[in-house]
């Protein structure tokens, strides 16, 4: 298979970091394209692939730094001491863009890292491809343009959008993995399945995952992953997930400390993350809930964990709605990273919820509801957004710069209430 480089939105971020810090750490899920992106800018490389490579770096960490700059060190976390020698090197001879580090897990032993190396090493997280990056979004509506009060959205009708619910279910199950995108469409789901099957396969002792999971029960890790997948896009508490696991008969006991430890491992592998609640001004009269929302870096992992295919999702629209919310959040997170924005969710004591708050560095924000397309769902999304805006204003806070229902397919327009209705394959950063 011929290697094809597909441009990433965070290329500009990497360039900026290389020109403003001595070393850039590119973190993110396994096989999301971190090394490929880094190598586009590197002039030399060190790969810690074999036991001998790792042993050499452990004996002489400085050897991993040798080469023309920028010099990339792939899977650096296998030898955490590399972080310290880079810090010391930059302390002695600070130059911009000397090193690039890539890794799909956090270091196994963080105690070996002296400090954060703030001001010397900058970091960024690369996610799987968004629909805009994979060229499966028309890119008609820029989310940043929605912050402009004078923005005019042209109406696009249902028959102008070729994306169907069936297509969407396929995209959710396939995910945004570079290797899946390179395959012919009939084989893309199979490639994603092969990727998932390999996530927890411990091949040899030098493999990054083998080192990282040395003291873990992989079967238990998969059980907890399934629990997270069943609670995707919800604020389910760990107590509830533990009770579900025990009730299923898979485990007789499971204490919270063990659950927390394994959940942290899934987070350290960039498989799941907790999306925080929106941090409102504490002087506001609005009482918000702080429970985070469960999300995956790519929804296809949740599908694979539960053995779901596109037809399974289409036969259970309630579940499809939750999986679509997670899928949409992946793209919103990629676009937020591009604009240095933050993504959070909102839920207050009355049960009022907003799926996503897209907040810029200057404090301006947009409120987004994520819905499968239907007149009823879109109507409910608009009603929720208007109710939210009224409550926020009455609470003495700044109203959202825009309100949007991000939907699965169909029309693209601005409602008479001023709410944008945008299919996910029309959106771009």
For residue 206, the model assigns a pLDDT of 46
At the second CATH level, the architecture of 11-125 is 3-Layer(aba) Sandwich (3.40)
Express each pLDDT in 264-303 by its tens digit: 989 988 999 999 999 776 455 566 778 899 999 999 999 9
pLDDT of 203 over the 60 cut: no
Question: What predicted TM-score, i.e. pTM, was given to this entire model?
Answer: 0.94
Assign 251 a pLDDT band (cuts: 50, 70, 90).
confident
Using the predicted structure, report yes or no on whether residue 390 has a pLDDT greater than 90. Answer: yes
Residue 339 burial (10 A CB sphere; 0-12, 13-18, 19+): middle
Q: How many whole angstroms separate alpha carbon 166 and alpha carbon 313? A: 9
Residue 202 pLDDT exceeds 80 = no
CA 384 to chain centre: 25
Sketch the domain layout of the chain as residue ranges: 11-125, 141-176+216-428
* CA quadruple 136, 182, 333, 352: dihedral, nearest 10: 60
**What pLDDT is recorded for position 27?**
93
Provide the strand spans (E) within 306-395: 342-347, 353-359, 365-371
Q: Tens of pLDDT along 95-136? A: 999 999 998 766 555 555 555 566 689 999 999 999 999 999
How far is the C-alpha of 331 from the C-alpha of 329, rounded, in Å?
5
Q: What is the pLDDT of residues 353-376, one digit of tens each?
A: 999 999 999 999 999 999 999 999
Do the beta carbons of residue 89 and residue 14 sit within 8 Å?
A: no
Banded pLDDT at 247 (limits 50, 70, 90)? confident
Average of per-residue pLDDT across 145-155: 96
């Amino acid at each position: 298979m011929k290697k094809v480089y597909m441009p990433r939105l965070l290329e500009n971020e990497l360039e900026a970091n290389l020109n403003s810090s001595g070393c850039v750490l590119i973190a993110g899920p396994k096989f999301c394209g971190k090394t490929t992106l880094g190598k586009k800018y590197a002039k030399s490389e060190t790969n810690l692939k074999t036991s001998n490579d790792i042993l050499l770096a452990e004996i002489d960490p400085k050897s991993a730094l040798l080469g023309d700059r920028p010099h990339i060190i792939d899977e650096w976390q296998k030898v955490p001491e590399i972080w310290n020698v880079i810090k010391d090197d930059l302390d002695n001879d600070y130059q911009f863009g000397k090193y690039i580090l890539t890794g799909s897990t956090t270091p196994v032993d963080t105690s070996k890292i002296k400090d954060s190396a703030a001001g010397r090493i900058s970091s960024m997280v690369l996610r799987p491809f968004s629909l805009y990056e994979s060229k499966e979004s028309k890119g008609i509506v820029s989310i940043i343009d929605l912050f402009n009060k004078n923005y005019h959205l042209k109406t696009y009708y249902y028959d102008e959008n070729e994306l169907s619910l069936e297509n969407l279910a396929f995209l959710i199950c396939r995910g945004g993995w570079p290797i899946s995108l390179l395959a012919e469409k009939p084989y893309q789901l199979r490639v994603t399945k092969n990727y998932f099957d390999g996530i927890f396969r411990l091949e040899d002792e030098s493999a990054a995952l083998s080192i990282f999971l040395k003291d873990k029960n992989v079967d238990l890790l998969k059980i907890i992953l399934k629990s997270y997948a069943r609670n995707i896009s919800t604020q389910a508490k760990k107590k509830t997930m533990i009770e579900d696991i025990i009730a299923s008969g898979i485990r007789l006991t499971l204490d919270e400390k063990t659950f927390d430890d394994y959940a942290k491992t899934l987070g350290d592998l960039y498989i799941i993350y907790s999306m925080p609640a929106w941090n409102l001004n504490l002087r506001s009269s609005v009482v918000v809930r702080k429970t985070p929302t469960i999300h995956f870096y790519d929804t296809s992992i949740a599908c694979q964990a539960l053995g779901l295919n596109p037809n399974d999702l289409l036969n259970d629209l309630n579940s499809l709605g939750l999986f679509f919310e997670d899928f949409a959040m992946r793209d919103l997170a990629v676009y937020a990273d591009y604009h240095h924005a933050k993504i959070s969710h909102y839920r207050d004591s009355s049960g009022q919820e907003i799926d996503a708050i897209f907040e810029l560095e200057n404090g301006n924000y947009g409120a987004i509801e994520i819905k499968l397309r239907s007149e009823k769902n879109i109507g409910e999304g608009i009603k929720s957004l208007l109710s939210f805006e009224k409550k926020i204003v009455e609470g003495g806070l700044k109203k959202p710069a825009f309100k949007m229902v991000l939907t699965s397919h169909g029309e693209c327009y601005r409602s008479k209430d001023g709410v944008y209705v945008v299919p996910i394959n029309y959106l771009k950063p």
